[in-house]
Structure 1
Amino acid sequence: MRRIFGGSKGTPAKQAAPTGFVHADEKRIVDGKGHPLLLRGVNIGGWMLQEPYLMLINKTICPAQYAIFEKVKATLGSEALFEEYRQAWLNNFCTERDIKLIAQAGFNSIRVPLHYNLFTLSIQEETIKGKDTWKPEGFRILDAVLGWCEKHNLYAIIDLHAAPGGQGYDSKINDYNKTNPSLWESDENIRKTIALWTEIAKRYKDRKIIAAYDLLNEPNWMFEQTGNKNGRNDRYNKPLQKFYVDCIRAIRQVDPNHMIVIEGNGWSNNHRGLWPFADQNLVLSFHYYWVEPTTESIKLYLQLRTKYNVPLWVGESGENHNQWYSQAVQLLESHDIGWCWWTFKKLESTSGCFTIAKPEGYQELIDHWTHGKKSPPAPEKIMAQLAENALVENCTRNEGVVQALLQITKLQRVLIGGEGAPVRITAVDYCRFKGIGTEQTKDEGGGYNVAWLETGHWVAYDVQVKKSGNYKISYRIASITGDGGLQLNSDKDTKRIDRSIKSFPNTGAWQTWQTISHVVELQEGCQRLTVESTQHGWNLNWIEFESA
């Protein structure tokens, strides 16, 4: 198991009493032997709960998974075809190969978001009030992933992402259907949620690979008349606090060992009124999105850690660019805060470790659901291909994300100016970037291109220039309107040198490509070259260097 020893100041940390389980030891998390443990992980988001944005679907059309499934089922016209797709998605999205790759990359944990309906019936489906029907499907999936984690030495945090009824108004993240009572509007939903956690604890009480139970992902419900329906302004959060107390008590009756994660209201970050708890094996979790990664941004949580003598853990962060990732991780780890990034793989997005390709015809299906356009032929084949594309061996690895999260520095540099053919760098093989996106390219050779470059965006590459001199540098660009411009910079420059191309040709389409070039002088030695966009509206597929 990968561990981080010692405190942030480099001083030896006192060893906690060994329990065999990951647990809270005052302000820190420790492993089963009592050694300090910094959790560095990824979420397996989108697997057991399909959030609309992860599926590229507008939430106004499909506010939650239940609505997505209704659209898919109606389009396929057959319960059997829908079930075939659903099973394929669950079977393919996370396999042992995913877990092995996560461990090999250098992460030491995963967070596994659960949807309750894979484990038990809804209160509307139960024939007897107060009865809990346990469904084998969810437990079979969880058994498998825990077995893979044990095999590959990867801690697992079990997270209830969608509780019975839904735990917040933000339905896309918890499958809340406003036609039925939410978790907070039904005592029976609360009872069933606690019963589910008790059943999970019974089954897995001896599994030391489980680092924690994350009781409720991102509650977001206004319990008081504070003006924010998602509970960000609530001062007391009494129903949430009572739920936690009752759920912890039920779990401890069958499982005295596993650490328990407490999330605040308002998407995890409003902990007012929740603390303290009697149980000492707890961790305070907050989610970290869309803020400047400064100590000031986490000051409140550092104060809570000190006040309540409890460890901190960021259960979710991400949805940003690699430079931000690197800065955020450095900040959190400098304060001994572990983290779990959202999310491991995503459809047509490079913000996760892997990108799932959108199958041909899937956009037409989305347009059919969104705008009522004609459905493409053979929708069952499109959905089957979507599930097939979710296999990690069919995904594209975003190495820059992994390197940014794990603070890996590329030691290999591209050699420029040697003998032989020109040297080509694929644009998405950057070491750092600001603001850009990526998309599948239709240019010769396939793969992905850097997309949607705006003024001030940039991509950087580490190179080694064999000798000083003039070099012809070519750029493979696309610009639908003829907009675009660039400036090439080197970190060896002592002053700004004009290496610009001020205007681009109109290529006619975003995936119609032309090659432009200029001759510039480069100094000998290792350096970081940055291609800076000086005008908006262009794509970049590759850069090529040759002696002039």
Structure 2
Amino acid sequence: MRTLVAATMLALILAAGTRAAPAGEPAPGFVSTRGAEIVAPDGAPLRLRGINLGNWLVPEGYMFGFRDATAPWQIRQVIKELAGPEADTAFWRAWAEAFVTQDDLRFIRQAGMNVLRVPFDYRQFTPEEYPDVWVEDGFRLLDRLVEWSAREGLLVILDMHAAPCGQSGHNMDNSYGFPHLFTDEACIRRTAEVWRRIAAHYRDVPTVIGYDLLNEPLPEQEGNDPFTPMLVRVYETVVAAIRTVDPNHLVFLSGINAASDFSIFANTALDRKAVYEFHFYVAAPEERALEKYLRFRAAHDVPILMGEAGENTDEWVRAYREILDRHGIGWTFWTYKKLDSRSCMRTYAPPPHWDAVVAYQGLAGLTLTDRRKRRPPPEAVRAALDGLLGRVRFGATTENRGFVEALRIDP
């Protein structure tokens, strides 16, 4: 697969050699940086504009209509209680197959996107309880996505949304309510090793343009301040591990406070191919909201990327996208596909009996014994899960035309 992708160069990054290079020596044919720009292999500026594949490999409760079961492990617990562990495993395997197909990627490209940001959980490559065990099949889904992306003319950013021990303590990192990554050296070493293995796998694949090392580390909340100085050291450790095997790819570095604060990056010599990433959700889409990032870019002469924004009206998305474009900032909006939502590129309706599943996950405050008394019938659970798998497929989803049009670049 890697040979095929390496041979299938995107039109965007031009046909170029993809020979293997010794560690420390960049190979030709890869996206790079030049001052404050991200550049294609021919040296031309490359403006990234794309979408996140949220809820594919890292489920989030709100995208299923859940309010109580929000982290991936909590969502799986609900399905295990309702359908059993074997059915849970089968469901998530089928979900991964159904959620993203080549038809989805073709639609994304035709909508004007040129890059995918792909959230993943480190457990895809190594079980949480067995740090010395590596799952070779963990690359299968990503390899297929990368191959499809090459065919459709899309680039790929790999985003570690869920790092060993948790980098945020929030639901999206699939942890246990605290950023334990910063309390245990073993967690840091494991994070570096996961990225080293990923980099070794994709080092010669130009469709993958870079590695987003930690999604939204250290959000602004009580108790996180002591860990802030450690984040740069974690980045240094991970980047060093990547560079032992891969000199070719970009590394994307997010700031603290939900990727909104670059103050930790006083020293921007972390890597010559680093891109600094911010996220933006809450404030109004105004020019002044970008000022601190523009100042950072100008002061340090480094590229920046808007990695996540959205969860808002079409008008908000359009206004913010236009501001980013005016200032030459690449972007990957959140997100591609969601259940019963307007704030995404495609949506799908809840299947029959899904309301019963949603009601059950809301019983988290009860004992398991009490929840058993109120669980829906097994046949309803099976119908709901099968129905969801059917409706998430591309042909069963519908386009949110307003959202898609809000992301289109004006001619």
Q: Does the C-alpha gap of structure 1 residues 190 and 235 become closer, same or farther in structure 2, counting only changes over 3 Å?
A: closer
Contact 1:103 1:152 in 2 (8 A): yes
Is the counterpart of residue 293 in structure 1 residue 285 in structure 2?
yes
Q: What are the Cα deviations for residues 204-244 of structure 1, in whole angstroms up to 9, with x where unaligned?
A: 0010011211000001257xxxxx3375xx59822100000
Query: Aligned with 1:29: secondary structure?
Result: strand
How big is the shift at 1:408?
5.6
Contact 1:3 1:38 in 2 (8 A): no
2:185 alignment partner in structure 1: 187
1:535 alignment partner in structure 2: none
2:198 alignment partner in structure 1: 200
The structure that is helix-richer by fraction is: 2
How big is the shift at 1:294?
1.8
* CA RMSD in angstroms, aligned pairs only: 2.1
Query: Aligned with 1:287: secondary structure?
Result: strand
Q: What are the Cα deviations for residues 165-215 of structure 1, in whole angstroms up to 9, with x where unaligned?
A: 111122x1111124x982122211111110000000001001001121100
- Which deviates further from its counterpart, 255-264 or 386-395? 386-395
2:302 alignment partner in structure 1: 310
2:71 alignment partner in structure 1: 64
How big is the shift at 1:3?
5.7
How big is the shift at 1:406?
0.8
Distance 2:12 2:287 in 1: 24
Contact 1:96 1:148 in 2 (8 A): yes
Q: Does the C-alpha gap of structure 1 residues 340 and 29 become closer, same or farther in structure 2, counting only changes over 3 Å?
A: same
Contact 2:256 2:264 in 1 (8 A): no
1:94 alignment partner in structure 2: 100
Match of 2:110 among 89, 104, 115: 104
Distance 1:297 1:248 in 2: 29
1:394 alignment partner in structure 2: 396
How big is the shift at 1:98?
1.0
Distance 1:155 1:363 in 2: 37
> Structure 2 stretches of 5 or more lacking a match?
1-9, 14-25, 364-370
1:380 alignment partner in structure 2: 382
1:229 alignment partner in structure 2: 222
1:539 alignment partner in structure 2: none
Q: Which amino acid aligns with 2:255?
A: G
Distance 1:175 1:374 in 2: 25
Distance 2:88 2:226 in 1: 44
Is the counterpart of residue 259 in structure 1 residue 250 in structure 2?
yes
Distance 2:337 2:223 in 1: 27
Query: Aligned with 1:266: secondary structure?
Result: helix
How big is the shift at 1:374?
4.3
The structure that is strand-richer by fraction is: 1
Match of 2:123 among 102, 114, 117: 117
Q: Does the C-alpha gap of structure 1 residues 327 and 33 become closer, same or farther in structure 2, counting only changes over 3 Å?
A: same
Contact 1:132 1:192 in 2 (8 A): no
Distance 1:402 1:298 in 2: 23
Q: Which amino acid aligns with 1:196?
A: V
1:475 alignment partner in structure 2: none
> Structure 1 stretches of 5 or more lacking a match?
5-16, 223-227, 410-548
Distance 2:73 2:300 in 1: 39
Query: Aligned with 2:258: secondary structure?
Result: coil
Q: Which amino acid aligns with 2:280?
A: Y
Contact 2:167 2:179 in 1 (8 A): no
2:336 alignment partner in structure 1: 344
Q: What are the Cα deviations for residues 272-327 of structure 1, in whole angstroms up to 9, with x where unaligned?
A: 22332242111110001122222210100111111111111001111111111111
1:333 alignment partner in structure 2: 325
Q: Which amino acid aligns with 1:80?
A: E
Contact 2:71 2:173 in 1 (8 A): yes
1:164 alignment partner in structure 2: 164
Distance 1:311 1:181 in 2: 27
Distance 1:273 1:388 in 2: 45
* Identity among equivalent pairs (%): 33
Query: Aligned with 2:144: secondary structure?
Result: helix
Q: Does the C-alpha gap of structure 1 residues 139 and 3 become closer, same or farther in structure 2, counting only changes over 3 Å?
A: closer
Distance 2:351 2:138 in 1: 27
Match of 1:31 among 40, 43, 51: 40
1:20 alignment partner in structure 2: 29
Distance 1:359 1:408 in 2: 37
TM-score under structure 2 normalisation? 0.88
- Which deviates further from its counterpart, 376-385 or 200-209? 376-385
Contact 1:19 1:33 in 2 (8 A): no
Q: Which amino acid aligns with 1:28?
A: E
Q: What are the Cα deviations for residues 416-447 of structure 1, in whole angstroms up to 9, with x where unaligned?
A: xxxxxxxxxxxxxxxxxxxxxxxxxxxxxxxx
2:176 alignment partner in structure 1: 177
TM-score under structure 1 normalisation? 0.66
Q: What are the Cα deviations for residues 379-410 of structure 1, in whole angstroms up to 9, with x where unaligned?
A: 1221121122111111011111111111469x
Match of 2:64 among 55, 70, 77: 55
Q: What are the Cα deviations for residues 105-147 of structure 1, in whole angstroms up to 9, with x where unaligned?
A: 211010010111111111xx22xxxx53221332001110010
Contact 1:112 1:156 in 2 (8 A): yes
Larger RCO: 1 or 2 (CA < 8 Å, sep 6+): 2
Q: Does the C-alpha gap of structure 1 residues 191 and 57 become closer, same or farther in structure 2, counting only changes over 3 Å?
A: same
- Which deviates further from its counterpart, 342-351 or 365-374? 365-374
Distance 1:221 1:393 in 2: 37
